[in-house]
Amino acid sequence: MGLIIQKFGGTSVANVEKIRNVADRVIEEKNRGNDVIVVVSAMGKSTDQLVGLAKEISSSPSKREMDMLLTTGEQVTISLLAMALSEKGFPAVSFTGWQAGIKTESVHGNARILDIDTSRLKRELNEGKIVIVAGFQGITEDGAISTLGRGGSDTTAVAIAAALKADKCDIYTDVTGVFTTDPRYVKNARKLLAVSYDEMLELAHLGAGVLHPRAVEFAKNYQIPIEVRSSSESESGTMIEEEVYMEENLVVRGIAFENEITRVTVIGLPNSLIGLSTVFSELAKNHINVDIIIQSTLAEQSANLSFSIKNEDLDDTIKVLENCKNKLNYSRIESEKGLAKVSIIGSGMVSNPGVAAEMFEVLASNDIEVKMVSTSEIKVSTVIGQEKMVQAVEALHEAFHLSGIPIES
């Protein structure tokens, strides 16, 4: 007998019929002789509806109260799924995140899991029950309800798998696996049989919405095999693990992209390490994620500093920088919206020089201006105009032969 963690997202539990379908998938796993813990998200668009209600009350609601509000969405799902399983003759018990022992740091809206007290989960499993846990949530050291940010149910599932040393974590979604790029935008996108932890981590960080980055970090750190698979179809999905089968020896294995990117430029910053560190330490204190960074020296004593952020973080970023203007002593701040980030990812890039050059050649031949660049051993990211995003992805997908992966019969 093994232990399997199953996670079902909001679209998989969007209504009662789909919750019954999830119950059937859970029972299939239970009937294979495995213990099962199920992690679920809120039903469909219910989280968005709760956010809408909050905005009707306040334009700037307390983050603590938002956590209190938003965690009710998952509570609805876990209780309904427990009822559905019981109706089918399978004893089940549902727990909120804090009842399941998930302890987080004291950051409302985007907390990290610090520890999981698994004693209650183990006790219920030992009694033969299917355990259902609300994703996306936990409790702080001072007893406040916290949330893990968008996509946090993935993190909940993999963290529980790590804490209990589960045999596997299955992430059920509305797609059949991890694709070479988003099939909603590129019709020739292909499903990959397997992806390494490092490749998936880059894909997740760079815009592929199929898995939350922190979930992949947990899986890599604790060596938890993950399978991303469809909640409505029975076909096998994509395995995420340390060693993977390399389809067609592809150098580039996937293309990730995201829009709503803004470039912020701090002009006339004193050319010193202290100024550079101050900018990013102040932004980090305010939980603002900075991505691509470029510094250009204007004169011996002056420099411009550019970095990319999500559009939604622009107001907070400007506020942080203005609050420490006297300390930083810069001239002014400029920002450019209407941008997108397009990235190529693949472990094969380590041993194949010239991949970045080929990427830039493809973009140039399609008259796509590159505004910012960031590289690592297994990825190259570019910031371009948002209006050219899909064109860039399609051109790169074709140029790196990702459309040629055979479709499984």
Tell me the per-residue pLDDT of 194-208, one tens digit each, with 9 for 90 and over. 999 999 999 998 888
Q: Which range scores top for mean pLDDT: 94-108, 202-216, 345-359?
A: 94-108
Q: What is the percent of the chain with per-residue pLDDT over 70, rounded to a whole number?
A: 97
Query: Is the pLDDT at 302 greater than 70, yes or no?
Result: yes
Give the pLDDT confidence score for residue 80 in this predicted structure: 98
Query: Is the pLDDT at 32 greater than 60, yes or no?
Result: yes
Report the sign of the C-alpha dihedral through residues 214, 215, 217, 221, in that order. positive
In this predicted model, what pLDDT tens digit does every residue of 238-263 receive, in sequence order?
A: 999 987 665 556 889 999 999 999 99
- Contact in structure between 297 and 271 (CB atoms under 8 Å): yes
Give the pLDDT confidence score for residue 297 in this predicted structure: 82
Q: How confident is the model at residue 316 (pLDDT cuts 50, 70, 90)?
A: very high
In this predicted model, what pLDDT tens digit does every residue of 124-142 receive, in sequence order?
A: 999 999 999 999 999 999 9
- Segment 144-165 shows an average pLDDT of 94
Per residue in 152-190, is it b (16+ CB within 10 Å) or e — as a string? bbbbbbbbbbbbbebebbbbbbebbbbbbbbeeebeebb
For the chain, the first-to-last Cα distance in angstroms comes to: 31
Query: Is the pLDDT at 284 greater than 60, yes or no?
Result: yes
**Phi/psi at 352 (5° precision):** -130, 90
Instruction: List, in order of start, the domains of the chain with CATH numbers.
Output: 3-174 (3.40.1160.10), 255-404 (3.30.2130.10)
Q: How does DSSP classify residue 129? A: P
In this predicted model, what pLDDT tens digit does every residue of 351-387 receive, in sequence order?
A: 888 999 999 999 999 999 999 999 999 999 999 999 9
Q: How confident is the model at residue 403 (pLDDT cuts 50, 70, 90)?
A: confident
Range scoring the smallest mean pLDDT among 115-129, 215-229, 239-253: 239-253
- Could you give the angle at which helices 197-205 and 213-222 cross, rounded to 10 degrees? 160
Give the pLDDT confidence score for residue 409 in this predicted structure: 39
Give the pLDDT confidence score for residue 86 in this predicted structure: 98
- Segment 202-225 shows an average pLDDT of 90
Mean pLDDT of the chain: 92
Query: Is the pLDDT at 6 greater than 90, yes or no?
Result: yes
Helix (H) or strand (E) holding 170: strand 168-173
- Contact in structure between 173 and 228 (CB atoms under 8 Å): yes
Q: How confident is the model at residue 336 (pLDDT cuts 50, 70, 90)?
A: very high
Q: What is the percent of the chain with per-residue pLDDT over 90, rounded to a whole number?
A: 79
- Segment 151-169 shows an average pLDDT of 95
pTM: 0.84
Query: Is the pLDDT at 83 greater than 80, yes or no?
Result: yes
Query: Is the pLDDT at 218 greater than 50, yes or no?
Result: yes
Query: Is the pLDDT at 407 greater than 70, yes or no?
Result: no
